[in-house]
Amino acid sequence: MIDLTEESVGRQTDEEALKQFLLDSDCLAPLSKWTSKFNIFDVLKISRTEIRHSNMLAWLMDANENHGLRDGVMRGFVKYAAQSTGGHDAFDDLLMDCNDFEIRREWHNIDILAVSESSKYVLCIENKIGSSEHDNQLARYLSVVAKHFPDYRCRFIYLTPDSSDSSDAENWTAMGYADVLEIIEQAVATTELAPGPALLISNYVDSIRRNVLEDEDLVRICSEIYSKHKRALDLLFENRPDELSGISTFCREWAEHKTQSGEIELVNHKCSKTYIRFKTKIMSRILPDTEEPSSGWGTCNHYFYEIEVGKEGTVRIKLSLNSSGLDGKQLEVCDRINRLFPSKGGTKSNWQWRTPWSVKAVSVPLDADDGWYEKVLNSMLANLRKFEDKLEKGLSVVAE
């Protein structure tokens, strides 16, 4: 008998998409130009981490560090800032000795502050990659720099991937990462570097080009591949192994063990990387299944306990209710539950989803093992049982 359910048809389509992608694996060959190269910033997964870029730039700007570029990068930033400075100040900046700069990180929350005591000069850099301005920070930085360096020539750079203007373009000079690349590459071209720093700086330049700026060839090739194999690539992305996958696997194994012992009922085909769903005998008795699979999950049961794996690497258990397809009697049970354990926004008459109970999310440590998950999830399950005990007693009182 042929299985023509919606789930099986979808699975067949996914399998066919993956098959076609594998048969056309040669389409990935043009990417070898980028994927075959070792890059430490990719390995450490910090290619678009703003604080790491600020750390790297601060290191490169310090003439006394061991990169071998001397004051080449610092001088490049000074020259760039001087472009927006008129009169004799610009000449003073360009003729300055850039070897004695002190580079400060996160001084009064400023990303990078370069201070030359001998030249009475300050360069302030606000670095924005994945974030934007907030809390009037640019005005605050102007104020704090003016307060601490009243007799200094002060320059301010607003650094973004695409050289976007800040909200205070009059005081903050816009700079892009393409300009940073040019400064670094010019400094490298005039210096013979040791192998270690040369590799690190080369990796950093490559990381900027690929991950901060748009490499036009890379964008074009990826767009062509994605357009041709969209379904297969989406499927691979959704099921890629990552930190959340590891957390999800531990949680599912715990739920399988508890199902074997009869404490809960794991519903595997309704689980995902983010949600491990299960039922309990008590909750199924309180809110019985409908005859047809009319819930928002496509099931006859209209509730699920969900082990939720958060994007930040957290775990919690919560109860979710869905009203789709419920009759008047079942909706009344849900309303009684809501009166006992109110959900946020749960007073709406046309509600679809409610979360009457949840535990506080717990952050998963990097060294979490089976024992950690067992302890934390068992504690959450104990709280769940206390909730169900109160719920049963509350509902019986309401019924009386």
Long-range CB pairs of 221-229 (<8 Å, 24+ gap) are 221/30, 221/31, 222/31, 224/27, 225/27, 225/28, 225/31, 228/24, 228/27, 229/17, 229/20, 229/21, 229/24, 229/27
On the CB side of 256, how many CA atoms lie within 13 Å of its CA?
9
Closest CA relative to residue 47, chosen from 110, 129, 160, 159: 129
Comparing 152-166, 210-224, 346-360, which segment has the lowest mean pLDDT? 210-224
The count of other CB atoms within 10 Å of the CB of residue 373 is: 18
In angstroms, the CA 208 to CA 248 distance is: 33
What pLDDT is stored for residue 80 in this prediction? 93
In angstroms, the CA 363 to CA 371 distance is: 15
Report strand pairing: 275-279 vs 265-266.
antiparallel
- Tens of pLDDT, residue by residue over 193-204, are 899 998 899 888
Calculate mean pLDDT across residues 43-69: 83
Comparing 86-95, 150-159, 237-246, which segment has the lowest mean pLDDT? 237-246
Q: Select the more confidently predicted residue: 2 or 192.
A: 192
Comparing 16-30, 61-75, 156-170, 327-341, which segment has the lowest mean pLDDT? 16-30
What pLDDT is stored for residue 239 in this prediction? 66
Residue 36 pLDDT grade (very low, low, confident, very high; cuts 50, 70, 90): low
The count of other CB atoms within 10 Å of the CB of residue 281 is: 12
Percent share of the chain, pLDDT over 90? 53
In angstroms, the CA 248 to CA 274 distance is: 7
Closest CA relative to residue 21, chosen from 295, 215, 230: 230
Is 60 exceeded by the pLDDT of residue 399?
A: no
Q: What is the chain's length?
A: 400
Comparing 34-38, 83-87, 146-150, 384-388, which segment has the lowest mean pLDDT? 34-38
| Mean pLDDT, all residues of the chain | 85
In angstroms, the CA 123 to CA 108 distance is: 14
- Cβ contacts of 70 within 8 Å, gap of 6 or more: 63, 99, 191
Is 80 exceeded by the pLDDT of residue 397?
A: no
Percent share of the chain, pLDDT over 70? 86
In angstroms, the CA 196 to CA 345 distance is: 58
Q: Select the more confidently predicted residue: 384 or 133.
A: 384
- Tens of pLDDT, residue by residue over 78-90, are 999 998 776 667 8
Find out whether 163 and 179 touch, Cβ atoms under 8 Å: yes
- Tens of pLDDT, residue by residue over 253-280, are 999 999 999 999 999 999 988 999 999 9
- Cβ contacts of 1 within 8 Å, gap of 6 or more: none
Provide the sign of the torsion angle of the four alpha carbons 258, 277, 19, 33, taken in this order.
Answer: negative
Residue 4 pLDDT grade (very low, low, confident, very high; cuts 50, 70, 90): very low
DSSP single-letter state for residue 211: I
Provide the sign of the torsion angle of the four alpha carbons 301, 302, 307, 313, taken in this order.
Answer: positive
- Tens of pLDDT, residue by residue over 206-247, are 888 877 776 666 667 777 777 777 777 777 776 665 677 888
What pLDDT is stored for residue 158 in this prediction? 95
Calculate mean pLDDT across residues 304-331: 92
What is the token pair recorded at 301?
């049961």
Phi, psi for residue 113 in degrees, rounded to 5: -125, 120
Residue 18 pLDDT grade (very low, low, confident, very high; cuts 50, 70, 90): confident
Calculate mean pLDDT across residues 58-75: 94
Classify residue 352 as exposed, middle or buried by CB count within 10 Å of its CB (0-12, 13-18, 19+). Answer: exposed
- Amino acid occupying residue 245: S
- Terminal Cα-to-Cα distance of the chain (whole angstroms): 51
What pLDDT is stored for residue 7 in this prediction? 46
What is the token pair recorded at 268?
């595997």
Complete DSSP assignment for 361-400: PEEPPTT--HHHHHHHHHHHHHHHHHHHHHHHHHHHHHH-
Mapped onto helix, strand or coil, the DSSP state of residue 345 is coil
- Domain boundaries, given as residue ranges, for the chain: 43-212, 243-399
What pLDDT is stored for residue 5 in this prediction? 46
